[in-house]
Amino acid sequence: MNGLDAMSINSFKAYHCMSTLLEKHIVELLQERNEKAISLLYEHYGDTLYGVAKKVVRNEELAQDVLQESFVKIWKKSDSYDASKAKLFTWLFRITRNTAIDKLRSVNTKSDKEIQMDVSDVYNLGVDSIKPELMDVRENLERIEDKYQIVLEALFFYGMTQQEASEELDIPLGTIKSRLKIGLRELKKIYGSSMVLAFLLNLI
Amino acid sequence: MMKDKIKIFLDSDLLEKYLLGTTNTQESLQVERYIAIYPEVLETYNELQDNLETFAKIHATKAPDGLKNKILARIKSENAGRRQFFRYAIAASFIAIMFASASYFFWNQNQNLQQENIIVNNKIESLKADMREQLEDVRNQFIVLNNPQTKRYNIKGNNNAKELKAIAYINPVKKLSYINVKNLPNLPEDQSFQMWAEVNGEMINLGIIDKAVGTEKLLALPYADKAVSYITIEPKGGNNTPTVENIVAKIDY
Eight-state DSSP code of residue B34? H
Q: Chain B residue with minimal CA distance to A75?
A: B75
ipTM of the complex: 0.73
Q: Which amino acid is at B225?
A: D
Of A68, A92, A119, which residue sits at a domain end?
A119
Pick from A42, A137, A163: CB nearest B71: A42
Chain A residues whose beta carbon lies within 8 Å of the beta carbon of residue B68: 39, 42, 46
* Tens-place pLDDT, residues B223-239: 777 778 888 888 887 88
Of A95, A119, A143, which residue sits at a domain end?
A119
- Which domain CATH number covers A171? 1.10.10.10
d(CA A75, CA B82): 12
Record: fold of B151-252 = Immunoglobulin-like (2.60.40)
Would you say the C-alpha torsion A33, A39, A44, A46 has a positive or negative sign?
positive
Lowest mean pLDDT, pick from A87-101, A134-148, A165-179: A134-148
Range of the domain at A172: 123-204
**How distant, in Å, are the alpha carbons of A80, A141, B63, B204 from that of A94?**
13, 23, 19, 103
- Phi, psi values for residue A150, rounded to 5°: -60, -40
Average pLDDT in the B133-139 region? 87
Contact between A183 and A144 under an 8 Å Cβ cutoff? The reply is: yes
At residue B155, the pLDDT reads 82
At residue A122, the pLDDT reads 42
Instruction: Please determine, for residue B145, whether its predicted confidence score (pLDDT) is greater than 50.
Output: yes
d(CA A177, CA A198): 30
Lowest mean pLDDT, pick from A109-123, B7-21, B83-97, B185-199: A109-123
State the average pLDDT for chain A: 75
Strand pairing category for B191-199 and B176-183:
unpaired
Eight-state DSSP code of residue B217? P
As for how many domains chain A has, the answer is 2
- Residues with Cβ within 8 Å of A182's Cβ and at least 6 positions away in sequence, in order, are A148
Average pLDDT in the A24-37 region? 87
d(CA A23, CA A29): 10
Where do the domains of chain B lie? 2-58, 64-146, 151-252
Average pLDDT in the B191-205 region? 82
- Phi, psi values for residue B202, rounded to 5°: -115, 135
Residues A138 and A104 in one domain: no
Contact between A71 and B75 under an 8 Å Cβ cutoff? The reply is: yes
**Is B49 close to A190, i.e. CB distance below 8 A?**
no
* Tens-place pLDDT, residues A121-165: 444 344 344 444 555 555 555 566 777 888 888 888 887 778 888
Residues A129 and A109 in one domain: no
Q: Chain B residue with minimal CA distance to A186?
A: B51
Lowest mean pLDDT, pick from A116-130, B86-100, B155-169, B204-218: A116-130
Q: Provide the pLDDT confidence category of residue A117 given band limits of 50, 70 and 90.
A: very low
Task: Quote the radius of gyration of chain A (alpha carbons, Å).
Answer: 18
Chain B residues whose beta carbon lies within 8 Å of the beta carbon of residue A131: 60, 62
Report the greatest alpha carbon distance in chain A: 59
B170 vs B107, residue with greater confidence: B107
Residues A97 and A155 in one domain: no
d(CA B14, CA B7): 12
Pick from A72, A157, A194: CB nearest B75: A72
Residues A85 and A12 in one domain: yes
Residues A50 and A78 in one domain: yes
